[in-house]
């Protein structure tokens, strides 16, 4: 079962994923060394914005910038 299918079926707590709020409606799901930025829009619907493989302690600024720009485009139409 894929991670996204696990999240859909079991929720974040049931899947092997950790979630944290970055700012406002921008969130990050962490799985192993992989990170996916997303926004929740309506009910259980979420839009995946950007994914990358984490290699350091902190998310690189350019990765956050990409996610912020895409979130802005989704949320502002």
The CA distance from 30 to 16, in Å, is 9
Q: Which two tokens stand for residue 33?
A: 């060394």
Residue 72 lies in a domain: yes
Q: What is the number of residues in the chain?
A: 77
Domain count, the chain: 1
Q: Which residues in the chain come in under a pLDDT of 70?
A: 1-3, 6, 11-15
How confident is the model over 47-56, as pLDDT tens digits? 999 999 988 7
Cα atoms found within 13 Å of the Cα of residue 20, Cβ hemisphere only: 6
**Host domain of residue 21:** 17-76
Which residues neighbour 73 within 8 Å (Cβ) at sequence distance 6 or greater? none
Query: How far apart are alpha carbons 69 and 66 in whole angstroms?
Result: 5
pLDDT of residue 58: 77
Q: Per the domain annotation, does 4 fall within a domain?
A: no
Q: pTM, whole model, 2 decimals?
A: 0.78
Instruction: Tell whether 8 is covered by a domain.
Output: no
Report pLDDT for 13: 65
- The first and second tokens of residue 68, run together, are 């912020």
């Amino acid at each position: 079962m894929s991670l996204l299918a696990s999240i859909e079926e079991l929720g974040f707590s049931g899947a092997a994923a950790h979630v944290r709020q970055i700012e406002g409606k921008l969130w990050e799901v962490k799985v192993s060394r992989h990170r996916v930025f997303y926004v929740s829009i309506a009910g259980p619907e979420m839009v995946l914005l950007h994914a990358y493989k984490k290699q350091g302690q902190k998310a690189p600024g350019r990765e956050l910038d990409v996610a912020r720009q895409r979130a802005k485009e989704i949320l502002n139409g």
